[in-house]
Amino acid sequence: MKYQNEGTFKDRKRSGRPRVSSCRANRAMHKVVIRSPVSSSKTIQTKLMERGTVVSAKTIQRRLSLDFDLKSRKPARKPRLTQAMKKKRLDFAKRHASWDIEMWKKVLFSDESTVQQFSYGRYRVWRPVGTRYDEKCTTSTVKHSLVI
């Protein structure tokens, strides 16, 4: 019946409580997160309060999640690589690109080094789906770091 009348299965606009945050405040939240994905909802709340907008941390989380499709996730861990390391890895891959499975079976990789997280403390990042390994959304790890 609904499809015959309206030509769609989408829900109609419903009455309800108006949003606390304005479109302008939502864009400001989004801008803060794009610049610094590690910003917590409390940090965003403080920055909005400096601009004169009072919004709860829970509202900020909801707006970022529902309106901008940003999820709060633990950052992916990637090894911290210098340009020289990246170049060596690329050279190795190019030199051995033509090897077949039988040749690789004769190789023994013995990398048993410990990898430790570079940044101390726990934090989360706001990121859209599909950007797990984006440079802004990762935390670096270091092999053989000295823990004092």
**Cα–Cα distance between 137 and 140 in angstroms, integer?**
10
Report pLDDT for 121. 56
Give the Cα separation of 44 and 29 in Å (integer).
6
Closest CA to 56 of 43, 48, 70, 45: 45
Residue 141 has pLDDT above 70, yes or no: yes
pLDDT class for 114, splitting at 50, 70, 90?
Answer: low
**DSSP assignment letter at 121:** S
At 61, is the pLDDT very low, low, confident or very high (cuts 50, 70, 90)? Answer: very high
Q: Is 144 left (phi over 0), alpha (psi -120 to 50) or beta?
A: left
Domain map (residue ranges) of the chain: 2-68, 76-143
pTM, entire model: 0.62
Q: Average of pLDDT values for 133-143? A: 79
Residue 100 DSSP code = -
Residue that the structure tokens 């829900």 belong to? 11
Average the pLDDT over each of 14-23, 111-120, 123-132 and give the range with the smallest value: 111-120
